[in-house]
Structure 1
Amino acid sequence: MPSKDSKTNFALLRDKILQKSGKDYWRSVEEFADAPEFEEFARAEYPQQAEEWEDGLSRRNFIKVMGASLALAGLSGCVIQPAEKIVPYVSQPEELVPGKPLFYATAMTIRGEATGLLAKSNEGRPTKIEGNPEHPQSLGATDVLAQASLLNMYDPDRSQEITYRGNSTTWQNFMSQIRAGIDENRVDGGAGVRFLTETVTSPTLIAQMRQILTELPNARWYQYEPVNCDNATAGAKMSFGSPAKAIYKFDQATRILSLDKDIFSDFNVRYTKDFNKSRLYSEEKTDINRLYAIETTMTLTGAKADHRLAVKPSQMPEIAKAIAAALGVSGATSTYTENAQWIQAMARDLQANRGKSIV
């Protein structure tokens, strides 16, 4: 059922679909409907690209534009670059040598987990992100988000000012509004004050927030991540009574079972490093790990698995029960018979490596 707050006219949208022929790609219903509200939002979000938008681009016009672009690209090598002056330092920093990069140790947090990084800087400008080999969480590796953070820094559409309800404002105005709101609620201990942040791991920021909450005991602080392991947290709370987080040691595991979990795309580079470490074969180490993957869609974990079982999403709960029963979990029963031979063989392998397996 359409949302009551939606401004999309679905009757007109249906007529537009019926009039369409050929392929048409779109990312949302609003974009396909070409709603004025969507265009207004997109222009506010990407102002520099808004001038280049067109109502549509046919295949013929696309080929024309691409052909002209390729022809003009060859002219770029014939352009005479204007003369530019190189201005030396009046007082050159002692540690800065032109042409020689500096590396700064830093960390990037995702969902409350920090990845140790080394930021390469050329003459004061960050140019490359690498993993910090001395950090226990990264061991010299990085993920796609860490690499993309550099592009985010130089993004021309990056926010450069404070906005309030779509309008630009100043930092001074923001601070005055915050102070006024806190002072207004200070009488009742900040009962009307709410703080919404991402997951905070900085000891300094945590201490500052605790100091504020001490002064405003009735205020509330909420930490939210749009992409988070909420199901895993809820499961840990059911099992252990608190929202604990499991930390796996893949370098010590000889058998691994993944139940519809993409371990190697979970922005935890330590897991990938540990898994690959125990995967190495040598004369001294002939017993490498073995990975089982049961999943509903193709993932990197499934691609690296020694044994992969593709199932429907509706089958996962029964498969989990069947595995628990095969492993002898107390109270676990199952009537699931499909893929029974595969599950039984996998369960025997896990039992043979009890204490050295991860599920």
Structure 2
Amino acid sequence: MDFKPLASFLDRMTSWRIPWAEVLVMHRNDTVFRYRSGFVDLEKQTPIDEGRIINIYSMTKIMTCVAAMQLVEKGAMLLNDPISAYLPEYAEMNVKKKLPDGEVVLEKAERPITVRDLFAMTAGFSYDLGAPSLKEAVERTNGKLPTRAFAEALAKEPLHFEPGTRWNYSLCHDVLAALVEVVDGRRFGAYLRDEITGPLGMNDTAFDLTDEQRSRLAPQYAFNDELGKAVRYDANGFRIGTEFESGGAGLLSTVSDYVKFLNALTNLGTSPEGVRILSPAAVNLMRTDHLTDATRGDYSWEQLNGYGFGLGVRTHISPAGSGALSPVGEFGWSGAAGCMAIIDPASELTVMYAMHMLNSQEPFVQPRLRNIVYSCL
């Protein structure tokens, strides 16, 4: 293995527009390459160092789906169950319908939202965190908005399409976190700590930080196209309540910590130390393509050509379509500030890539990074 091209690529990205980047590559449970480039603090010119905590944003979704799959494994719920069996506020939903004359009307949904719809992003939700019902719930809870209250509020908003008929990247996994709470009985963050992060020894992964961890929180940036540079932007706009444990975008973690979770999935659900978080059957179901003829056309992001969508993860289905060097079945997801997971059971390969910049240039960076990794093996 020769990872010099991968190091050169990270150097190229940090000399371009990304403040810093880090990659950790594991093969057969051993770390075979780790490299950091750039400045964690642009203003102070501080080099990126060990133990920096970052917002992983939508890479939270992978862990949320694993948590929910644990409950499926236990028979606590089924993928085909209507979520109203657990979240009764979703029993009768309205759907926006556009009439031939352009008028938009609300009609009763003909299909129930199922547990599978939450996993697969086919429930009919949007990603509008400024929706009136959510704003009202934030005010009513004095800015706390617990996860369960979030789901109750979102149910008041009309759906954008009949459940199961389209794919739309949305707040599905935030509702899935509330579903875990109701089915299990623990707060979502406590469930993750007890069932996933604690057993795996992930001490730096949580929704809330200690004072010591906060001292290691990396500055966050956003690339400003008008100024032609990255500017400081430290807020997580997806956390709209102090008690909202967002299953879609709320976790903070480090490269060293989160790769433990990713590598357990590479091993089909069991860590090298023997901690089992999922069965191989459940991991394989997660990375099975769940798109249908009706939903596939909506899944059209440039960087996901040749990929399907499983239970909360992209999954490689067509090397001809993707142009990717990874094998069929490689899976993972990414986050708004640029981090990315590559989980590859066939190659026994786990990759955690991290940066901390919104407007992250994902369509450019991530497909290239993936191909360079595989070319180095």
**Is TM-score (shorter-chain normalized) higher than 0.5?**
no
TM-score by length of 1: 0.19
Which structure would you say has the larger RCO, counting Cα contacts within 8 Å and 6 or more residues apart?
2
Larger Rg, first or second structure (1 or 2): 1
TM-score by length of 2: 0.19
